[in-house]
Structure 1
Amino acid sequence: MRQILLYLENLEKRERYILIGGLYAVIIIVGLFFTALPTYEKIQQTERKITKEMENYRQLMEAVSVYLSVKGSVRKKEISLSQIEKIATATGVKDRIILLKPYQDAGVEVSLEEVNWSSLVSFLKRVKQENYTLVSFSMEKPKEKPVVKARLVITE
């Protein structure tokens, strides 16, 4: 340590400034290297993640467009009161309908009274054949009668 101090004292003023400036430059370069390099690596990693996510998003959009094109071509029929009435007429339960009204945005509510089992089953089968969905179904069987009372909600 003593030799270093002796060496520094023997240097001229200009040489000391050059040495101190060089030390500062080395400290700054090393400091930047250790702080900027990890930051640069994190930026590169983030850019890779963004690129990967953009590719995943592009693939998702392709899948959505394929789904929408298939869904549009296999679109279910729009449900209407007249279509349910046609099904009821065909299955013989039209005269048992006591309520036929639109249900919320995309459905039909049907209430049947004193309908026999076979007619109700054929009505439900026909609804399924027409690719409609039965959302709600409730049924009551009066005591000692061979008929039932049913409430159905049918949607597309």
Structure 2
Amino acid sequence: MSEAANILDAARDRGIAQGLPYAGAVTPAEAHALLSTLPNARLVDVRTHAEWAFVGIVPGAELIEWKRYPGMAPNPDFLTQLKAAVDPESVVLFMCRSGARSHDAAQLAAAHGYATALNVLEGFEGDKDGAEHRGSRNGWKAAGLPWVQG
């Protein structure tokens, strides 16, 4: 079995264990491996424009706000923008700051035909550390995965 198949199986098992209404959940390292090995894998970063600009982005990610900055109102065009950017047959990895907004985005996508919608656990910045700072304890950045300053 290939590495990608093993990762997708583990993601599915996590999803079942957690009762997720979508295909499953992956760690940042697993997400990176899927993006590196599956031609149909797509990363959708659902953070805000401000987060992309001031915190950083993953090169090649689709940038579609789940909530709009500054008021954090839901993006009424999210699904339309997702459908325009990402094929529903793709393996779609949703990522936000910590994994909460991306959970909601994966749930909506799965309800609208995205069969392999996955949440990236820990998100881009991960959990807060003892000093209440993000970006060093876990998440995409802390794992040393590729990213650039916005």
State the structure with more CA Rg.
1
TM-score scaled by structure 2? Answer: 0.24
Quick check: which one's helix share is greater?
1
TM-score scaled by structure 1? Answer: 0.24
